[in-house]
Structure 1
């Protein structure tokens, strides 16, 4: 009986060690401009206004043999909003929208990942924006992974989600077509 118990414990420990051996931690390469956090909102229902956040940082953990065990954490500096128009960006940083003085950071932290197969993932987590935290789901896709020319190893993903401004206490009225914002994320991480 002792030998059987020891064999079971050894098998569990070995399986656990092998599983964790495949997991890797990555730092999102925002400094090298190999990542972006973009947004898109309709302007009065007549056209699309697009922009990005220039300053953000984050990490993720990913195991290609167990994608559902992945995790993601991203922090965005809200005053880095950039819609390619300085006066509009000043308005977006102000009290009507991001209120960057009072809420200098937005943050996403994953809580669960569903593997949909073929590199497709649903990343569930909490988005904190404008002082409000709400659950969101990012529909993500693995783009690829492998060695880079500098001796490192990288993995890349893209993802999208849509949020309602009023859910985050942003109630500036731009008309009925401008109530939601589409977020588009492109991340390339460097394995640590």
Structure 2
């Protein structure tokens, strides 16, 4: 019985030791937070957040133990139109003067298939925190040409604007926003 307990403890410690910490590579422009929303139901309006930071833990042998924390400067919004960006930063939408940042903190990761999973967590936007789920695909990982080690993921999620206090009437086809997330991390 004692040998089983030692084996289990060694296995747990080994699994913990294999989890690696990664910093999101925003300096090399290898990570993106983008969004799209239907414009009147006729086309898509795309935008992005240019300034964000974060880190994640990932173990290729135990992806369920993965976690991520991201902080977004919502004032860095860019939809390729200065007047629209000013409106989106205002009280009708992001209200950046009062809520200058948004955050995402994961609470769970569930593997759903080969390299795929569902990342659950809490998104805080406009001072309101709600759970969301991100469909994630592991793109790959390995050594980079500079002696580092990287992991890359892509993900998508969708949520209702009204869930985060955005009640501006954009028409019935524009009630939800889609987020497209691409993250490359450098192991610390």
Common fold: TM-score over 0.5: yes
Tell me, yes or no, if structure 1 residue 144 matches structure 2 residue 140.
yes
Tell me the distance in 2 between the aligned counterparts of 1:14 and 1:169. 48
3-state secondary structure, aligned to 1:151: coil
Equivalent residue in structure 1 for 2:64, among 64, 68, 85: 68
Listed as ranges, the matches of 1:162-181 within 5 Å are 162-181=158-177
Tell me the distance in 2 between the aligned counterparts of 1:38 and 1:95. 21
Shift of the alpha carbon at 1:10?
2.2
Shift of the alpha carbon at 1:8?
3.1
Listed as ranges, the matches of 1:1-192 within 5 Å are 4-5=1-2, 7-192=3-188
Shift of the alpha carbon at 1:182?
0.2
Shift of the alpha carbon at 1:13?
2.4
The structure with the largest alpha-carbon Rg is 1
Tell me the distance in 2 between the aligned counterparts of 1:117 and 1:177. 32
Tell me the distance in 1 between the aligned counterparts of 2:17 and 2:165. 43
4+ runs deviating over 3 angstroms: none
Superposed CA RMSD: 0.9
Tell me the distance in 2 between the aligned counterparts of 1:36 and 1:103. 21
Tell me the distance in 1 between the aligned counterparts of 2:108 and 2:6. 29
Tell me the distance in 2 between the aligned counterparts of 1:163 and 1:76. 17
3-state secondary structure, aligned to 1:95: coil
Tell me the distance in 1 between the aligned counterparts of 2:90 and 2:134. 27
Shift of the alpha carbon at 1:45?
1.1
Tell me the distance in 1 between the aligned counterparts of 2:67 and 2:13. 19
Instruction: Give the TM-score taking structure 2 as reference length.
Output: 0.98
3-state secondary structure, aligned to 1:41: strand
Instruction: Give the TM-score taking structure 1 as reference length.
Output: 0.96
Instruction: Return 5+ residue gaps in structure 1 as ranges.
Output: none
Shift of the alpha carbon at 1:11?
1.3
